[in-house]
């Protein structure tokens, strides 16, 4: 009974996050990109309504058992790394919770879970590395996304190129500042002059 509940929760997360993209070619994922990265208030509220209780339990470590399978690990990473950016948008908590996904992502990579997942799914295993204010993790992020791009099929290439481009942009910011300046205000950090100049550029906050 407990195992059925575990699988139900994992499937609920993955079906919501990947439901449309699984029916589409990788070179036509616009609807999923909108869900994943648009930042629309309606999407934030939908995720809040559907998944807040699961997020709170994941924060307390109640779902560590999910690490037994690649799909469970992926669902846990999405729960901690992606959904908090929606439901805690513009709050410091969004970043503190996201940071909790990092050990799970590193474990997934160590166990080779990423190699057992589809192209679009494994990209979310790597995102906690991209979100980290740590140059070593940024280097690993770029290394992994580069390999995926190099090994991608023609149908996958555009999707993998987008992922790699964003990984390179994140790495460049950490190389320049050692942190993401767009987080400074939310986290109560004082921005330097060079960071303020950077933030004035279009697209500086990803």
pLDDT-derived band at 1, boundaries 50, 70, 90: very low
Q: 25-34, 135-144, 165-174: which has the minimum mean pLDDT?
A: 25-34
Residue pair 167/139 in contact (Cβ under 8 Å)? The answer is no
DSSP H helical ranges for the chain: 2-18, 30-37, 41-59, 70-77, 83-87, 92-99, 102-111, 119-130, 135-150, 157-177, 184-187, 193-199
The whole-number pLDDT of residue 166 equals: 94
Query: What are the chain's domains?
Result: 2-199 (1.25.40.10)
How much is the average pLDDT of 87-93? 91
Q: 5-14, 95-104, 158-167, 173-182: which has the minimum mean pLDDT?
A: 5-14
Residue 99: pLDDT over 70: yes
Q: How far apart are CA 50 and CA 174, in angstroms?
A: 33
How much is the average pLDDT of 154-178? 94
What digits encode the pLDDT tens for the residues 186-199? 999 999 999 999 99
**What is the percentage of the chain residues whose pLDDT exceeds 90?**
71
Q: 7-21, 62-76, 146-160: which has the minimum mean pLDDT?
A: 7-21
What digits encode the pLDDT tens for the residues 18-75? 885 554 444 455 566 667 877 778 888 989 999 999 999 999 999 999 999 999 999 9
| Sign of the torsion angle spanned by Cα atoms 22, 28, 34, 36 | positive
The whole-number pLDDT of residue 73 equals: 97
Residue 3: pLDDT over 80: no
How much is the average pLDDT of 120-131? 95
**What is the percentage of the chain residues whose pLDDT exceeds 70?**
87
């Amino acid at each position: 009974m407990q195992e059925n509940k575990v699988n139900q929760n994992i499937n609920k997360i993955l079906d919501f996050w990947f439901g449309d993209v699984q029916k589409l070619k990788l070179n036509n994922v616009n609807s999923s990109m909108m869900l994943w990265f648009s930042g629309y208030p309606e999407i934030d509220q939908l995720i809040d309504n559907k998944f807040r209780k699961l997020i709170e339990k994941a924060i307390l470590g109640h779902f560590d058992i999910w690490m037994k399978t690649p799909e469970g690990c992926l669902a846990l990473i999405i729960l901690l790394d992606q959904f908090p950016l929606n439901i805690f948008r513009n709050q410091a908590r969004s970043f503190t919770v996201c940071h909790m996904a990092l050990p799970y992502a590193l474990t997934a990579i160590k166990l080779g879970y990423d190699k057992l997942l589809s192209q679009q799914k494994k990209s979310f295993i790597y995102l906690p590395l991209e979100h980290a204010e740590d140059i070593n993790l940024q280097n690993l992020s770029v290394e992994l996304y580069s390999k995926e791009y190099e090994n991608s099929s023609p149908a996958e290439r555009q999707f993998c190129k987008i992922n790699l481009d964003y990984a390179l942009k994140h790495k460049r910011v950490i190389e320049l500042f050692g942190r993401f300046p767009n987080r400074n205000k939310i986290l109560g950090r004082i921005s330097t002059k060079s960071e303020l100049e950077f933030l004035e550029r279009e697209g500086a906050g990803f």
